[in-house]
Chains A and B, each alone.
Chain A
């Protein structure tokens, strides 16, 4: 694969807060490569969630361009952008947002079902993904019958089941103790990182910083560091 997985050029985002406008991102220029576990790190409020939302096509930048695997995603029509996300992006939400009344396998199968795949075929693939994540035996359980960690694995399975080229993940370890947090990161590295797939993780959890291939530090809406390790002063 040639070229970066994601490239942002001059991405700026404003929010209206009452009378005044605050600029959360100031002209972000970034390239994210496939095959790497990329961390987006920064203090709370530094703009991490805003940036990752823009990079995965769910939040419009005020200015600038975003290309994902060569597609200028904010040049697409609304429906084409939705379709682009469905085909190319896997989401792991902080609150998992599983559907409470369908079982783990069906939850994990949602992107395939949304793509129009037959429900039984989709479930079969979802069960295979759950097995890969070591919760194959929980496939028939409803979300509320699972532990928090198991629910997160279902959410990870849902993000990967349709083999997207970009996986985004907001604060995956925030609610976990140190050991579980590291286990989840190991798992993500194992299943979410691939030759032709980019994986971006937003975090401010310093217990896992050593597990990144690349760390981007965001401060007040600007990228202030880019490297394999965290800068000394952090």
Chain B
């Protein structure tokens, strides 16, 4: 009977495609929007993820994220270095600046000053050039997304910039996770950064810490906070802080939430209507089957099989569509590094199952209510 159910469905291509389209559309909308949402949120943690070697971030007690930081006096570095369990501690500066390009355009950039000796604070990989270029005077390394933004046509290597009235030369391109706002990032040595960033005292944004063996990051955080009075966060906590900051300070969760809900509602509407129409068109046949001797249980299984087939194909197409979307836009800096966390297809699968269970149940009610005696009417 399942075979008959499937043939009933596929024998009506218009409704079959309508149903598949409805599910595919919902899946696509939900999966794609959730994917963009999660990836965008994770951008809030990009500053932390780009510095993979730091176990603990130490900052002024009022600092909140890599981008919302209040500078500390340089003595903070020595205080942190004095805490037992700190294997190494290096200074890290993050500041905003304006650059004037050769064409005279003004662009807001983030300047990141990394430890002169160890270069801890640079992204792990380079797209072009080596990290050694920072030893040359006035050198900066630009991030790859910044490159596509500021120099869409030609290589930026060797380009001169005016950075807060100081001369800077781009000598390398880093492979970095873009920030939430895709701001252009210029990496330079800490000592250089002090020249680029105005002000005289208190310019140390963070102290990056590597922990010694034998204690956890959390233990080290507690110890640093107790002994220095500064704020310390583990890598994971600080990444989470960046994500939370976006959640709390932007309309993004609400906007994406609305779109996902719309995807669900549109799915229910399209699939519900089409399913009901399909059932109504076949109500005589279902009635005949009931009279001939098909139980309600079997009818339920038949409709479930129809819903299952539609769900399988529609869901597959929707997820494929999302993968295709991510792939097609992977070259676009806005979508750099986007991936589909495994939870998201699972969520849309649950949504699709809900849509089909709901609409299938509604459609089924009519069939179950049909009196077998109606076939003689």
Contact = CB atoms under 8 A, between A and B. Distances in A.
A101 interface: yes
B4 A113 contact: yes
A217 to B, nearest CB: 19
Interface of B: 1, 3-4, 7-8, 10-12, 282, 284-285, 287-295, 297-298, 371-373, 375-377
Contact of A85 (B1, B284, B291, B377): B291
A97 B288 contact: yes
A200 to B, nearest CB: 12
A62 interface: no
B292 A114 contact: yes
Interface residues of A, number: 32
A58 B294 contact: no
Contacts of B294: 82, 86, 114
Given A97-B287, A97-B288, A99-B285, A114 B7 contact: no
A52 B376 contact: yes
A101 B291 contact: no
A99 B295 contact: no
Contacts of A87: 293
B316 to A, nearest CB: 23
A88 B332 CA distance: 68
B179 to A, nearest CB: 56
Given A59-B371, A119-B3, A101 B292 contact: no
Contacts of B297: 79
B7 A99 contact: yes
Contacts of A82: 290, 293-295
Contact of B377 (A49, A114, A158): A49
Nearest to B282: A99
Contacts of A79: 295, 297
B7 A102 contact: yes
A53 B10 CA distance: 32
Contacts of A91: 288, 291-292, 375
Interface in A137-178: 158, 170
A110 interface: yes
Given A53-B376, A93-B376, A99 B293 contact: no
Contacts of A84: 293
B286 to A, nearest CB: 9
B376 A83 contact: no
Contacts of B287: 97
Given A93-B288, A110-B4, A101 B10 contact: yes
B295 A95 contact: no
B369 to A, nearest CB: 14
B295 A49 contact: no
A172 B312 CA distance: 42
A83 B1 CA distance: 15
Nearest to A111: B292
Contact of B293 (A93, A98, A111, A170): A111
A114 B1 contact: yes
A207 to B, nearest CB: 21
A100 interface: yes
Nearest to B293: A86
B12 A101 contact: yes
B289 A110 contact: yes
Given A89-B293, A106-B4, 16 more contacts: A79-B297, A82-B294, A83-B293, A83-B295, A85-B291, A85-B293, A86-B292, A91-B291, A93-B288, A93-B375, A97-B288, A99-B4, A99-B285, A101-B10, A114-B293, A114-B294
A94 interface: yes
A83 B288 CA distance: 14
14 contacts: A49-B377, A53-B373, A82-B294, A84-B293, A93-B375, A97-B287, A99-B8, A99-B282, A100-B11, A100-B285, A102-B4, A106-B4, A111-B293, A114-B298
B289 to A, nearest CB: 7
Contacts of B290: 82
A89 B3 CA distance: 23
Contact of A58 (B8, B12, B372): B372
